[in-house]
Each structure stands twice: as structure tokens, then as C-alpha cells.
Amino acid sequence: MSDVGSEDFDDEQGNIGEYDGDRNEAGERHGVGKAVLPNGDTYQGQYENGKRSGQGTYRFKNGARYVGEYYMNRKHGQGTFYYPDGSKYEGGWVEDQRQGHGIYTYANGDTYDGEWMRHLRHGQGVYTYHDTDSKYVGTWVMGKMESSGEFIHLNHKYQGNFLNNNPSGPGKYVFDIGCEQHGEFIQLDQDSGDGDEEEPISTTVVKWQPMLITGITLLGPAKDQKHSSPDPGKVEEGEKVEAVDPEEKTLTEEQTARAKTPTTPETGTNKQLELEDKQD
């Protein structure tokens, strides 16, 4: 997105622009006031010893705005950032970065509700896709789906482990009709590009390998799933197991394609805008 109106200002230029408000005995901005910066941005709120501290509203001339807590001129505490493209983040901030619990509503209607660290989705969180109402519930590591999680769709869900935003390793599909398909996701690296290139571009393709279909089990996702899927060559006494025929395999591969991780909007394009509140 555009960063117009978000040029950097040096910290030592903390008293530039017009100001109307309270001051302390040293003449510093202290208390409540309003500042109009040379680039057209404005800030109205609390100051402490010349720095934005406490509750305040910072408006960028391109339409973005932040409403929330500041400390030493940085967004710190709870606050809401409204972006010019219509997206919005509401939650915790630490030194100008999204951190702690927060809800990000993207311009396309998708939402992420969960934990953040250093501007990235990190920890436990739920990402909901607006167009399909599918959602990923699980672990995030530095902005990507990692470790245990599940993808929940309209009439089925996938439970297992994830690696680099893709399902990986043992897992299972659980269908609302009362059955499960156990199997494993294999990640394959495929080289693409012209043969003249010294280093061909490598892309990762995930392939689902079905094993068998069973009734509903109570195994949890991920860690409990690891190699706890039934052995396709072994049938326990009294257990009813259906073999996977070609038609069933084709159907689940189509369902698998729908379960592959859709692209999540990147929040990095808004990062510079958030970091560049002017030093007024």
C-alpha cells in the first residue's frame, strides 16, 4: 500500500510543527494537546515530558489513523490502527509493533484473531476466510502455520501438523457423515524455470496419501496423531475397516485440494506506515 505522507523524522526534531496545548515548567509538551506536523499529519492526545504518552489519536494525511495508547512516542499498549485500504488491527502493541493478542480484519474480509509477536502472527490463533467461511485453528510461528492445527470446512475438517503454511506428515480428514480418512501429507520440492538458470526456482507441492477409512476416533490433532494413524496393513480384532477404492481416493484428493492453505493477506505492506508516526 502507499506510504505517501509517512516520511521519517529524526527523533531530535521532536518539537517541530504547530502545537496547541499544555506544557510543563521546562516548556515541554506535557498534558493534553494537539500537534500539526509539517507533512500534514496530526496528533491529538496526551504528552509527557515532550513525548506522546498515554491516550491519543494520530492521523496520517493519506487517511490512516491510530487510536490508542502511546509511550515515549511509540504505540505501546492497546490500540486500533485503521489502514487506508480498509483493513484494521485492534489489539496489543509493543514499541510500535503488533504484539500480544489482537484481531486483524483484512481488506478482503478475512480475519485473524490470536497472538502476535513483532508484527507477525505468532502463537495460537484462528484465521477465517471470508469467502468460504473455512478457518485454520492452531499454531503460528513467525507469520506461518506451523506445528499442530486443523483446517475446518463446511462439512469436513483436516487435523494434523503444518509446516511452512502447508499440511505435513500424518493426519486425518474428519467428515460430518461419521467417518475419517487417515493418511499422510508428503511435501515435494519441484524445480521450475529455464534450464539456463544456474539456480532453478524450487516450489513446494503437497500430496495427500490416503491409507484407510475408519469410524470417528477421539485422537487429537497433531502430536497425538503422529504415527498413531492405523496401520493400513493391520486390522485389529473386531475392527471394521473399509479399503479405499479409486473413486474414494479421487474424491478425497479433490477435498484435499480445497483444504490446502489459501493465501493469507500479508500484513507487511502496512508495517512501514505503522512505524512512521512523525516525531512531533
Q: How far apart are CA 158 and CA 182, in angstroms?
A: 10
Read off the C-alpha cell for 165: 503454511
Would the pLDDT of 117 be above 50? Answer: yes
Between 213 and 14, where is the model more confident? Answer: 213
Q: By CB neighbour count within 10 A (0-12 exposed, 13-18 middle, 19+ buried), where does 83 fall?
A: buried
**Span 182-229, pLDDT tens digits:** 989 888 876 655 555 555 566 778 888 888 888 877 655 444 444 443
Would the pLDDT of 236 be above 90? Answer: no
Residue 6 pLDDT class (50, 70, 90 cuts): very low
Q: How many CA within 13 A on the CB side of residue 176?
A: 5
Average pLDDT over residues 3-7: 28
Contact 99, 93 (CB under 8 A): yes
Share the mean pLDDT of the chain. Answer: 77
CA angle (219 as vertex; 215, 222 as ends), nearest 5: 125
Q: What percent of the chain is modeled with pLDDT above 90? A: 52
**2-11, 121-130, 141-150, 164-173: the lowest-pLDDT one:** 2-11
pLDDT at 65: 95
Q: How far apart are CA 60 and CA 41, in angstroms?
A: 5
CA angle (98 as vertex; 162, 270 as ends), nearest 5: 90
